[in-house]
Structure 1
Amino acid sequence: MTSPYAQDGFSAGFDWGPVGAEVVAGDIVAVVDVLSFTTAVTVAADRGIDVYPYRWRDETAVAYAEQCGATLAVGRSAAGPGEVSLSPVSIRRVTGITRLVLPSPNGSTIAKQLSDSGATVIAVSLRNRLAAADWVGEQLRSTQSKVVAIAAGERWPDGSLRPAVEDLWGAGGFLSALGSDRLSPEARAAVAAYEAISDDLPTYLHECAGGRELTQYGFADDVAIAAEVDTSSAVPVLEDGMMFRST
């Protein structure tokens, strides 16, 4: 019997976090982590930097970066001059890097989780929602495949999922741009959330909990980059553990 949570029978679906990514399977999965993993990935792709998603920054991440011949991102608050972190600002400024291992507990973890699922995994943010929707449309033009947007969300101190409204908006913006009339009810709800704030999205992004948190810790410029709606033509695609800019 098909799971009632699978959103079967629709061309596009939507869900939250690692569990949602497993339950609502799609032929193409758009991972959305606006503050900040997928925004950082699009900034890297704009600069020709390939990104290797990874779950945590620990000793295994150090070994993985060496194996990939890549730079390992440092913690956002620990980054010094010339060092790169999950902060999109640091990626925009860095020089001399072509490969980057970018750990994060949410978007990066989900992308890594999906890498062996058989699905095509792409990184979507507000910056590249239109480009990603156009790319997906080309992939699905002659098929009956299903696309799913997964909002990464954040974590409460006890480890439980905290739905992050910025990821809902990013997923909804992407799904809205797809132009499909066969969205699941969950996907339609995401689209409605995006359309409700799209006229003044940068303001809402700075004022939401995630935006306020980054601003409080001194990373308001990262929020500003995340709010660069439709400025990137990059569509980072995950293949063999690496997210590279699709042409």
Structure 2
Amino acid sequence: MYGGPPAGTISPVTSPYAQSGYRVGFDWGPAGAAAVPGALVAVVDVLSFTTSVTVAADRGITVLPYRWRDSTAIQYAEQHAAALAVGRSEAGADGISLSPASIRQARNVERLVLPSPNGSTISQQLADSGSTVLAVSLRNAAAAAEWATAKGRQIVVIAAGERWADGSLRPAVEDLWGAGAFITALQERGVGPVSPEARAAAAAWREVRAELPGLLRECAGGRELIQYGFPQDVAVAAEVGSSASVPVLRAGAFVVD
């Protein structure tokens, strides 16, 4: 029979899923973002939303996350005097899409509405939560960890994942690695305690980091983009530590703090 936690462990909380008592927590998707509250939340969507946000930030482009690419997104972009990213297949050689490579080559764009069913949706969900929201990818994990460490606040890391055809969550290993890279960088700066879930993500990153970018090309998400003709997006996502930008969601837009 269960007799309570061992001496010295975290006390029971109202929700066992909240990872209460830890400075750093980790979970998946919109439901995880709702279940594990944090003063500071790092959203990780390596292929490709948060990678695209860091590329935009490096170029001085403000990104407005939006859930859906539909008629309401067109109106939203018009209301905010912003360009609207289109689907990868619609963008052509010069258009802007969720593809980080397309954002890197964009010209005369200062504000960009970037719809995405995963990272963008979670970011918008968190916009009114009172949490400070960061966009984190493999490109800026170290810089974001440095920024977050200085804030001295509770940190939750949300791996966006993907969706199966039935709408259920597909945990995307590249997001696990991106979350783990950020958590590892926090640990290296002495940030803790780290929840068991967050420790598992960090362990996953340490297992593979010496084998990137190869493993990013070989994982399901990487293979999918390469199969659809976007190998350059996988290459950009694999630029580990290349960005010093830390995009922070303020008033509905990711800006460099």
**Coarse TM-score class (shorter-chain normalised):** over 0.9
Equivalent-residue separation in structure 2 for 1:82 and 1:198 (angstroms): 33
Match of 1:189 in 2: 200
Specify the alignment match of 2:169 in structure 1: 161
Q: How big is the shift at 1:81?
A: 2.8
1:56-205 alignment runs, 5 A limit: 56-140=68-152, 145-179=153-187, 180-205=191-216
Q: Deviations over 1:104-135 (max 9, x none)?
A: 00000000000000000000000000000000
Q: Partners of 2:63 and 2:122 in 1: how far apart?
A: 14
Q: Residue 25 of structure 1 corresponds to which residue in structure 2?
A: 37
The amino acid of 1:217's aligned partner reads Y
The 2-side partners of 1:211 and 1:80 are apart by 20
Q: What value does the CA root-mean-square deviation take over the aligned residues?
A: 0.7
Residues 196-205 or 99-108, more deviating: 196-205
Conservation of the 8 A alpha-carbon contact between 2:24 and 2:192: no
In the TM superposition, residue 46 of structure 1 has moved relative to its aligned partner by 0.3
Partner of 1:234: 245
Q: Secondary structure at the match of 1:157?
A: coil
Letter in 2 for 1:152: A
2:37 maps to a residue whose letter is: A
Which residue, out of 225, 231, 236, partners 1:220? 231
Q: TM (normalized to structure 2)?
A: 0.93
User: Paired residues, what number?
Assistant: 242
Give the whole-Å Cα distance in 2 for the aligned partners of 1:86 and 1:190: 25
5+ residue gaps, structure 1, are: none
3-state SS of 1:243 partner: strand
- For the residues of structure 1 that align with 2:192 and 2:29, how far apart are their CA atoms? 25
CA-to-partner distance for each residue in 1:222-244, whole Å, 9 max, x for gaps?
00000000000000000100001
Q: Which structure has the larger Rg?
A: 2
Q: Please identify runs of 4+ aligned residues in structure 1 that moved more than 6 A.
A: none
Distance of 2:99 and 2:150 partners within structure 1:
31
Q: 2-side partners of 1:201 and 1:182: how far apart?
A: 28
Name the SS of the counterpart of 1:94 in structure 2: coil
Which of 52, 65, 75 is the equivalent residue of 2:64? 52
